[in-house]
């Protein structure tokens, strides 16, 4: 009970930090838009049409925060759902900057939930370095997380710098997301079938960090699912389901944090007629953090008793539904 209370308290603290951070950025960037290092995404006034993103009201922000929170850590791809849900609801694209704030809500949730684990790993690593105890599991687990983060950072930067147009026009298309979702569902089914699931958290090594980190890099492709690819790799590497999920969450902390900060790192010069509403940003941040936290807690308990087959069937259905909708002209490809 005390441990749960500490977790909730830490979540509130991270939420407070996130809100303060968002307000500061909002004030600094009032009448500006945030963009990635390669693409300026302008939010135009809706009277004349929409540009790269559309204004989001509070209700839509809460719904999108729920979508982000519910799908970021469950192996069904948050990127795919944040692309598909607004399209099906006719809301338009909320924009890169809005998605960045939503991701920071998920960061707050995962940091708060695993704060005790992160503290123990950090303290254990520092102690191992000071005492030259390089056989310490905490030391090698920290190294594994660091090494496992490198592939997705390198691949992400390469894609942003050299092929941004390919990413936006091809990888983020609805048919691509659908096909990738189906392929990843089949891989998860195979991993569930062939992995012996005999290794637990104490058996983790740097090798796990490297292999699962390489799988995490695939999450650059929308529809892959960062948690899905890493859990699949963990199952292939004979980790039990709960350990695969827990390690996936820990490994994802640097990647998710960097992904959010990349979209916020540059403030663009003021563009006439563009602005952000502060309240929807706060609503999305809170919604994302709360539902991310609940999703983490639920999934870890679920995987202690159940398999991942429900996610396999969901992803297959999700992919087939999108392909059908595109083919029938319900949505644009």
- Location of structure tokens 């102690």: 127
The pLDDT of residue 55: 76
**Least confident segment among 8-22, 241-255, 283-297:** 8-22
Q: If pLDDT is split at 50, 70 and 90, which confidence band does 222 have?
A: confident
Residue 20: pLDDT over 70: no
The pLDDT of residue 38: 30
Cα separation, 102 vs 83, in Å, equals 13
Q: By percentage, how much of the chain surpasses pLDDT 90?
A: 55
- Location of structure tokens 């998920």: 106
How many whole angstroms from its chain centre is CA 321? 23
- Location of structure tokens 């695969």: 244
The pLDDT of residue 24: 45
The pLDDT of residue 192: 96
Cα separation, 320 vs 325, in Å, equals 9
Concatenating the DSSP letter of every residue in 218-280 gives GGGSTTS-HHHHHHHHHHHTTB-HHHHHHHHHHHHHHHHHHHHHHHHS-BPPP-TT----HHH
pLDDT in tens, 302-321: 999 999 999 999 999 999 99
Residue with the bigger pLDDT between 40 and 61: it is 61
Q: What is the rounded average pLDDT of the residues 257-282?
A: 63
Which among 171, 252, 166 is positioned nearest to 209, based on CA atoms? 252
The pLDDT of residue 240: 96
The two three-digit tokens of residue 236, written as one number: 């292939």
The pLDDT of residue 264: 60
First to last CA, the chain: 49
Q: If pLDDT is split at 50, 70 and 90, which confidence band does 36 have?
A: very low
Give the DSSP letter of residue 74: T
Residue 19: pLDDT over 50: no
**Averaged pLDDT score across all residues of the chain:** 81
Single pTM value for the model: 0.80
Residue 33: pLDDT over 80: no
Q: If pLDDT is split at 50, 70 and 90, which confidence band does 256 have?
A: confident
Residue 34: pLDDT over 60: no
For residue 294, CA distances in Å to 7, 74, 110 come to: 12, 11, 10
How many whole angstroms from its chain centre is CA 156? 14
Residue with the bigger pLDDT between 178 and 266: it is 178
Residue 57: pLDDT over 70: yes
Residue with the bigger pLDDT between 47 and 207: it is 207
Cα separation, 327 vs 228, in Å, equals 26
Q: Where are the alpha helices (DSSP H) in 114-173?
A: 115-131, 137-162, 164-166
Residues 6+ apart with CB under 8 A from 18: 104, 105, 107, 108, 285, 289
CB environment 49-75: b (16+ within 10 A), e (fewer): eebbbbbbeeebbbbbbbbbbbbbbbb
The pLDDT of residue 163: 72
Cα separation, 174 vs 328, in Å, equals 13
The pLDDT of residue 29: 42
Task: Write phi, then psi, for 105 (nearest 5 degrees).
Answer: -65, -40
The pLDDT of residue 43: 36
Contact 219, 152 (CB under 8 A): yes
Cα separation, 105 vs 161, in Å, equals 26
Concatenating the DSSP letter of every residue in 178-231 gives HHHHHHHHHHHHHHHHH----B-GGG--HHHHHHHHHHHHGGGSTTS-HHHHHH
Residue with the bigger pLDDT between 166 and 83: it is 83
Q: If pLDDT is split at 50, 70 and 90, which confidence band does 260 have?
A: confident
Residue 159: pLDDT over 90: no
Q: If pLDDT is split at 50, 70 and 90, which confidence band does 27 have?
A: very low
Cα separation, 20 vs 281, in Å, equals 12
Q: What is the rounded average pLDDT of the residues 167-191?
A: 89
């Amino acid at each position: 009970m005390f441990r749960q209370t500490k977790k909730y308290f830490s979540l509130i603290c991270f939420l407070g930090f996130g809100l303060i951070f968002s307000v500061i950025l909002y004030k600094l960037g009032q009448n500006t838009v945030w963009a990635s290092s390669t693409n300026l995404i302008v939010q135009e006034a809706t009277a004349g049409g929409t540009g790269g993103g559309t204004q989001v009201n509070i209700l839509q922000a809460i719904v999108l925060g729920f979508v982000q929170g519910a799908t970021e850590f469950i192996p069904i791809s948050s990127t795919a759902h944040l692309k598909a849900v607004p399209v099906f609801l006719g809301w338009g694209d909320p924009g890169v900057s809005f998605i960045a704030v939503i991701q920071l809500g998920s960061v707050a949730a995962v940091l708060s939930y695993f704060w005790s684990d992160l503290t123990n790993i950090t303290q254990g690593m520092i102690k191992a370095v000071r005492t030259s105890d390089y056989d310490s599991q905490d030391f090698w687990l920290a190294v594994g997380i660091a090494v496992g983060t490198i592939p997705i950072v390198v691949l992400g930067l390469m894609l942003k710098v050299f092929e941004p147009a390919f990413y936006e026009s091809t990888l983020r298309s609805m048919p691509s997301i659908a096909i990738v979702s189906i392929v990843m569902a089949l891989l998860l089914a195979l991993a569930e079938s062939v992995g012996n699931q005999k290794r637990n958290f104490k058996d983790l090594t740097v090798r796990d960090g490297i292999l699962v980190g390489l799988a995490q890099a695939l999450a650059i492709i929308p529809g892959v699912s960062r948690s899905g690819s890493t859990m699949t790799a963990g199952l292939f590497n004979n980790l039990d389901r709960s350990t695969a999920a827990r390690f996936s969450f820990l490994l994802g902390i640097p990647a998710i944090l960097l992904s959010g900060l990349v979209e916020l790192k540059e403030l663009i010069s003021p563009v006439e007629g563009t602005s952000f509403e502060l309240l929807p940003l706060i609503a999305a941040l809170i919604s994302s953090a709360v539902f991310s936290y609940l999703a983490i807690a639920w999934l870890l308990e679920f995987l202690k008793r159940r398999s991942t087959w429900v996610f396999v069937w969901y992803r297959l259905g999700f992919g087939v539904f999108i392909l059908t909708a595109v083919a029938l002209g319900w949505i644009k490809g």
